[in-house]
């Protein structure tokens, strides 16, 4: 792939990126969240068409019009979210969309061939999975192997794996690596995308680093170390790694507003997380996608599963089983997925802003329209929400203004703790600064603020202190001059 | 009035004008009273089903509830000689309980509304036939509870009682849906249940109450219908009424996707269907086409809803 560029409305996702992989080579592809790894692979898979640039396979230029073309060319992509049908068995998944059939007008399924071929492919990668096993009953690792078998049965000569070990245990991951090395020795080209730099270090012959949609550098075996990768990922020379710089904080036990004590989340049930946030403090939570940040936020705010542990507010333990419980206690969430969880697009700015505290504007269950309109209007003005009127449906607003509406929902409740999950994702630069001011204002008014962000500059600039997560645990907390992008990245890829 | 409601009203008026022009009988006092009585009767349970549809659910059980409660009402008054007031209270309470049971199964256990209320449809029909021993029930001369009969067949200043009752129910439902906290939560749940939950709305409670309300309104209608027909054959009484209600709600602007609809729209939808049936009667269209006409109307409503939704949703930007 040479000179690949791809633009989305308002964003340049890829800018003249070069990428190549040879037969029998394992190439690691790394970069921060949003660096362009997935987009590049979607171009390779025929899902996106590049605006410019060329793709060549075995020296011959190819043009792909859809994922089916990539499959025909021998490019097999295993996405992070495995695209398997749960209710079908392994054989049916391996042949999904290209089922062999018997001769004759009925085109009856040739189950015998499907199962025999599936068994052969699974045996080749050393996975003992019966072809008739329902995918629903398989473990995550076994599903991963079914996906690999599917790619192999399509005669994939180029295999792309996107975060294949994200939900695998150490032993399962080892088995996958063995399979990949075996495939490598049979001349399959492999692209391995992972945030786990250790895996890249041990597995890859070469690592290609992307940053902001551009090539940031390539490291070959020998020069391929974690520190060098981190340096290329954040684009600055790594200073003295400032690990585990414990904050020298004054002993003010009364200032602790939120205390998360040994909480386990549904995604990482084996890991306990503890943290504290003071009144007036903004705690940034950094980490790569899948590091368990959102799950922690959801556990605090009653949205997700809290398998164990306690949440204390001003020293008092809370019973939180639903968002309603959390809101009653004064803990509010500005969720990551704005359209699904943050706003009700078909409802007006007014109706969205007043939804959580509606009973406060009502007598005997009947809403006082005047009070409601006044409150919503004041909030919209205070937050500088740009809308034709507060009666406009929220769906018609820009991302930044929708986000202000989400914050506006909580303002009237005077939150004691407010958790922001990716507060400026999909928000333009101007609104971004306004949201940062708003976060600071909430803290100044005494709230304890938790801000999850993948935006390194945002984390460094807007937080008082930064906790970094990796694989569900907090790998370190940084503040003051020790809080640099390099130090954060070091902890994030631990 | 919203644009949608105005549209339905204009359609209704146009239809009335056409029928009136084609058949002078339409504007006669007797015919108008009869149509008004039916609009009131069907309108009441249609409002209940409409509330359920706004949550994004469906209620298929109202016809069978109508049969079961009709049978029980007759037995309470005629065979068991209950005081009329107690019988009415029991019927309404029972309707509410059945609806609440649906609501809890759907909201607490997470069963699909279609399945739960379909089972209700089968269950209550069977119960009605069993309780009545499959024999037709009635109220005889109605001695001792004339005032109950007046709810169905009486009039106030020429306006049939069921129509008056529907107006009262509609006014209360309008306040509930369009002015109360519960109503706002109802629409929020119908439009985006997840976002509503994230905002602290007790989505399960909201949904359960919607089915309970539908049960109560089905019970109120059941009382009227029982006295209106005065002959309750448990195998056929109230057959297809759930479909009249769904049709009224959809024609009246409710979306089966949830989150859309209004009380005025549902009432206008119910009225539209009754005028259509009246049209079949008056214009000498074979009565066997009754359902075909309604089917066509529901279909048009669904197509219009789909086209509207397609125009409304702009495709989001492609993003990795």
Residue B170: CB atoms within 10 Å: 20
pLDDT band at A38 (very low <50, low <70, confident <90, very high): confident
Straight-line distance from the first to the last Cα atom of chain A, in angstroms, rounded to the nearest whole number: 31
Residues in contact with A431: Cβ distance below 8 Å, sequence separation at least 6, in sequence order: A398, A399, A400, A401, A403, A404, A424
pTM above 0.90, yes or no: no
- Whole-number Å distance between alpha carbons of A435 and A439: 6
**Interface residue B179 vs chain A (CB under 8 A):** yes
Chain B, 181 to 200: residues with Cβ < 8 Å from chain A are 181-182, 184-185, 187-188, 191-192, 194-200
With the C-alpha atoms ordered A7, A292, B188, B93, is the resulting torsion angle positive or negative? Answer: positive
Q: Do A345 and B192 touch (CB under 8 A)?
A: yes
Residue A12 DSSP class = E
Whether the CB-CB separation of B170 and B263 falls below 8 Å is answered with yes
* Beta pairing, strands A158-162 & A52-57: unpaired
Nearest CA in chain A to B320: A39
Q: Do A367 and B197 touch (CB under 8 A)?
A: no
Q: Do B195 and A341 touch (CB under 8 A)?
A: yes
User: Does residue B144 or residue A450 have the better pLDDT?
Assistant: A450
Residues in contact with A158: Cβ distance below 8 Å, sequence separation at least 6, in sequence order: A21, A57, A74, A75, A76, A188, A189, A190, A191
Backbone angles phi, psi at A244, to 5 degrees: 50, 40
Residues in contact with A281: Cβ distance below 8 Å, sequence separation at least 6, in sequence order: A443, A448, A449, A464, A465
Question: Which strand (E) or helix (H) includes residue B296?
Answer: helix B290-312
Q: Do B200 and A324 touch (CB under 8 A)?
A: yes
Q: How many CB contacts within 8 angstroms connect chain A with chain B? A: 81
**Cα Rg of chain A (Å, integer):** 25
**Interface residue A370 vs chain B (CB under 8 A):** no
- Whole-number Å distance between alpha carbons of B291 and A61: 62
The pLDDT value recorded for residue B155 is 92
- Whole-number Å distance between alpha carbons of A214 and A235: 11
Using alpha carbons, select from B159, B165, B162, B174 the residue that is nearest to residue B266: B174
pLDDT digits (tens, 9 = 90+) for B239-286: 999 999 999 998 888 888 999 999 999 999 999 999 988 988 888 888
**Interface residue B309 vs chain A (CB under 8 A):** no
**Interface residue B311 vs chain A (CB under 8 A):** no
In chain B, what residues touch A365 (CB-CB under 8 Å)?
180-182
User: What DSSP assignment string belongs to A178-245?
Assistant: HHHHHHHHTT-EEEEE-S-HHHHHHH-SEEEEEETTEEEEEEETTT--HHHHHHHHHTS---S---S-
Query: What is the 3-class SS of A321-360, one letter each residue?
Result: CCHHHHHHHCEEEECCCHHHHHCCCCCEHHHHHHCCCHHH
**Interface residue A449 vs chain B (CB under 8 A):** no
B181, B198, B199: residue with CB nearest A365? B181
Question: Which strand (E) or helix (H) includes residue A365?
Answer: none
Please list the rounded mean pLDDT of every run of 10 residues in chain B (320 residues).
82 90 91 95 97 97 97 94 94 98 96 97 97 92 83 91 97 96 97 95 96 98 93 93 92 89 95 90 85 79 71 41
What are the Cα distances from residue B289, in Å, to B38, B296, B298? 19, 11, 14
Q: Find which of B4, B107, B194, B198 to mutate to test the A interface (most A CBs within 10 Å of its CB).
A: B198
Structural domains of chain A in order of their starting residue, each with its CATH number: 2-234 (3.40.50.300), 253-492 (3.40.50.300)
- Whole-number Å distance between alpha carbons of A382 and A22: 57
Q: Do A347 and B196 touch (CB under 8 A)?
A: no
- Whole-number Å distance between alpha carbons of B256 and B65: 22
Nearest CA in chain B to A329: B200
Question: Which strand (E) or helix (H) includes residue A29?
Answer: strand A26-30
**Interface residue A334 vs chain B (CB under 8 A):** no
Q: Do A324 and B194 touch (CB under 8 A)?
A: no
Q: Do A343 and B195 touch (CB under 8 A)?
A: yes
* Beta pairing, strands A282-287 & A273-278: unpaired
Using alpha carbons, select from B239, B38, B236 the residue that is nearest to residue B152: B38
Q: Do B194 and A48 touch (CB under 8 A)?
A: no
In chain A, what residues touch B197 (CB-CB under 8 Å)?
303, 322-323
Q: Do B195 and A340 touch (CB under 8 A)?
A: yes
The pLDDT value recorded for residue A167 is 67
Q: Do A303 and B197 touch (CB under 8 A)?
A: yes
Q: Do A365 and B182 touch (CB under 8 A)?
A: yes
Residue B318 DSSP class = P
Which of B14-47 are b and which e, b meaning 16 or more Cβ less than 10 Å from the residue's Cβ?
ebbeebeeebeebeeeebbeebbbbbbbbbbbbb
pLDDT at A377 over 70: yes
What are the Cα distances from residue A158, in Å, to A1, A97, A187, A376, B95? 13, 20, 9, 55, 64
Whether the CB-CB separation of A343 and A402 falls below 8 Å is answered with yes
- Whole-number Å distance between alpha carbons of B41 and B61: 16
| A319 three-class SS | coil
What are the Cα distances from residue B19, in Å, to B241, B272, B285, B298? 24, 12, 12, 20
The pLDDT value recorded for residue A238 is 40
Residue A395 DSSP class = G
Give residue B283's region: left, alpha or beta (phi > 0; psi -120 to 50): alpha
Residues in contact with A42: Cβ distance below 8 Å, sequence separation at least 6, in sequence order: A48, B320
| B308 three-class SS | helix
In chain B, what residues touch A42 (CB-CB under 8 Å)?
320
A9, A346, A409: residue with CB nearest B317? A9
pLDDT digits (tens, 9 = 90+) for A230-285: 888 877 544 333 333 334 344 455 688 999 999 998 888 889 999 999 999 999 99
In chain A, what residues touch B187 (CB-CB under 8 Å)?
347
What CATH architecture does domain B29-304 belong to?
Orthogonal Bundle (1.10)
**Interface residue A323 vs chain B (CB under 8 A):** yes
With the C-alpha atoms ordered B160, B165, B166, B170, is the resulting torsion angle positive or negative? Answer: positive
The pLDDT value recorded for residue A250 is 47
The pLDDT value recorded for residue B202 is 94
In chain B, what residues touch A303 (CB-CB under 8 Å)?
197-198
Tokens representing residue B13 in the block: 């008026």
Whether the CB-CB separation of B245 and B59 falls below 8 Å is answered with yes
Q: Any idea which residue has 């800018």 for tokens?
A: A15
Highest mean pLDDT among A147-151, A450-454, B66-70, B257-261: B66-70
What are the Cα distances from residue B111, in Å, to A384, A477, B7, B105, B106? 43, 45, 36, 6, 5
Classify residue B250 as exposed, middle or buried by CB count within 10 Å of its CB (0-12, 13-18, 19+): buried
Q: Do B184 and A323 touch (CB under 8 A)?
A: no
**Cα Rg of chain B (Å, integer):** 20
Q: Any idea which residue has 């460094």 for tokens?
A: A460
Q: Do A324 and B202 touch (CB under 8 A)?
A: yes
- Whole-number Å distance between alpha carbons of A311 and A276: 10
Whether the CB-CB separation of B205 and A353 falls below 8 Å is answered with no
The pLDDT value recorded for residue B105 is 97
Nearest CA in chain B to A396: B314
CA distance B204 to chain A (A): 11
Q: Do A323 and B320 touch (CB under 8 A)?
A: no
Using alpha carbons, select from B104, B259, B253, B103 the residue that is nearest to residue B195: B259
A36, A358, A409: residue with CB nearest B181? A358
- Whole-number Å distance between alpha carbons of B208 and B215: 11
Residue A86 DSSP class = T
Q: Any idea which residue has 């600071």 for tokens?
A: A440
pLDDT digits (tens, 9 = 90+) for A46-97: 888 888 899 998 888 988 888 888 888 888 888 877 778 888 999 999 998 8
pLDDT digits (tens, 9 = 90+) for A124-135: 887 888 999 999
**Interface residue A292 vs chain B (CB under 8 A):** no
């Amino acid at each position: 792939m040479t000179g690949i560029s791809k633009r989305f409305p308002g964003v340049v996702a890829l800018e003249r990126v070069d990428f190549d992989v040879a037969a029998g080579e394992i190439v690691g592809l790394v970069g921060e969240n949003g660096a362009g790894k997935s987009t590049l692979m979607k171009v390779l898979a025929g899902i996106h068409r590049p605006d410019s640039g060329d793709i060549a396979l075995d020296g011959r230029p190819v043009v792909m019009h859809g994922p089916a073309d990539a499959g025909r060319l021998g490019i097999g992509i295993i996405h992070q979210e495995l695209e398997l049908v749960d209710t079908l068995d392994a054989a049916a998944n391996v042949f999904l969309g290209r089922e062999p059939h018997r001769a004759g007008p009925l085109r009856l399924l040739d189950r015998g061939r499907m199962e025999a071929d599936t068994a052969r492919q699974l045996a080749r990668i050393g996975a003992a999975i019966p072809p008739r096993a329902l995918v629903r009953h398989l473990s995550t690792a076994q599903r991963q192997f079914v996906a690999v078998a599917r790619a192999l049965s399509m005669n994939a000569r180029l295999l792309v794996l996107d975060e294949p070990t994200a939900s695998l245990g150490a032993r399962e991951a080892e088995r996958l690596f063995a399979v990949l090395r075996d495939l490598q020795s049979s001349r399959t080209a492999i692209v391995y995308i992972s945030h786990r730099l250790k895996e890249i270090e041990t597995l890859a012959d070469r690592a290609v680093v992307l940053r902001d949609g551009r090539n940031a550098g390539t490291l070959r075996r020998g020069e391929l170390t974690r520190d060098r990768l981190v340096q290329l990922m954040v684009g600055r020379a790594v200073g003295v790694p400032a690990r585990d710089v414990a904050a020298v904080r004054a002993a003010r036990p009364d200032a602790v507003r939120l205390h998360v004590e040994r909480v386990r989340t549904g995604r990482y049930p084996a890991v306990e997380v503890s943290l504290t946030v003071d009144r007036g403090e903004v705690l940034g939570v950094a980490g790569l996608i899948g590091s368990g940040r959102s799950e922690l936020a959801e556990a605090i705010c009653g949205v997700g599963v809290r398998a164990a542990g306690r949440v204390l507010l001003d020293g008092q333990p809370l019973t939180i089983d639903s968002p309603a419980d959390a809101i009653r206690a004064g803990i509010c969430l500005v969720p990551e997925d704005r359209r699904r969880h943050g706003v009700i697009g078909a409802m007006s700015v007014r109706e969205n802003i007043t939804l959580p505290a509606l009973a406060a504007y009502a007598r005997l269950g009947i809403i006082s329209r005047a009070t409601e309109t006044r409150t919503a209007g004041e909030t919209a003005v205070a937050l500088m929400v740009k809308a034709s009127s507060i009666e406009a449906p929220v769906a018609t607003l820009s991302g930044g203004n929708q986000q202000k509406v989400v914050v506006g929902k909580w303002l009237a409740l005077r939150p004691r703790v407010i958790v922001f999950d990716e507060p400026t994702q999909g928000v333009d630069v101007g609104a971004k600064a306004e949201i940062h001011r708003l976060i600071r204002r909430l803290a100044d008014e005494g709230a304890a603020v938790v801000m999850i962000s993948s935006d390194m500059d945002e984390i460094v600039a807007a937080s008082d202190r930064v906790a970094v997560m990796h694989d569900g645990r907090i790998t370190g907390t940084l503040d003051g001059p020790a809080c640099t992008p390099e130090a954060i990245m070091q902890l994030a890829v631990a | 009035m919203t644009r949608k409601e105005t549209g339905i009203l204009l359609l209704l008026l146009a239809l009335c004008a056409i029928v009136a022009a084609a058949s002078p009988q339409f504007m006669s006092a007797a015919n108008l009273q009869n149509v008004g009585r039916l609009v009131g009767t069907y309108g009441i349970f249609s409002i209940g089903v409409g509330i359920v549809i706004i949550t994004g659910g469906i209620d298929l059980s109202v016809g069978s509830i109508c049969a079961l409660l009709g049978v029980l009402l007759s037995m309470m008054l005629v065979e068991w000689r209950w005081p009329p007031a107690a019988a009415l209270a029991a019927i309404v309470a029972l309707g509410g309980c059945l609806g609440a049971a649906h609501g809890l199964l759907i909201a607490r256990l997470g069963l699909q509304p279609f399945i739960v209320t379909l089972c209700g449809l089968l269950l209550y029909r069977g119960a009605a036939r069993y309780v009545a021993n499959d024999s037709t029930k009635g109220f005889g001369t109605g001695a001792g509870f004339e005032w109950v009969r007046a709810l169905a067949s009486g009039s106030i200043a020429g306006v049939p009682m069921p129509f008056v009752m529907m107006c009262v129910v509609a006014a209360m439902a309008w306040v509930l849906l369009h002015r109360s906290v519960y109503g706002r939560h109802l629409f929020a749940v119908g439009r985006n249940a997840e976002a509503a939950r994230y905002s602290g709305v007790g989505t399960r409670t909201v949904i359960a109450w919607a089915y309970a309300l539908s049960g109560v309104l089905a019970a109120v209608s059941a009382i009227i219908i029982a006295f209106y027909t005065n002959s309750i054959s448990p195998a056929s009484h109230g057959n297809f009424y759930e479909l009249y209600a769904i049709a009224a709600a959809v024609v009246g602007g409710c979306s089966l996707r949830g989150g859309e609809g209004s009380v005025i729209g549902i009432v206008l939808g119910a009225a539209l269907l009754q005028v259509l049936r009246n049209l079949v009667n008056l214009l000498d269209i074979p009565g066997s086409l009754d359902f075909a006409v309604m089917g066509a109307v529901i279909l048009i409503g669904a197509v219009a809803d789909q086209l509207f939704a397609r125009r409304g949703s702009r495709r989001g930007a492609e993003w990795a």
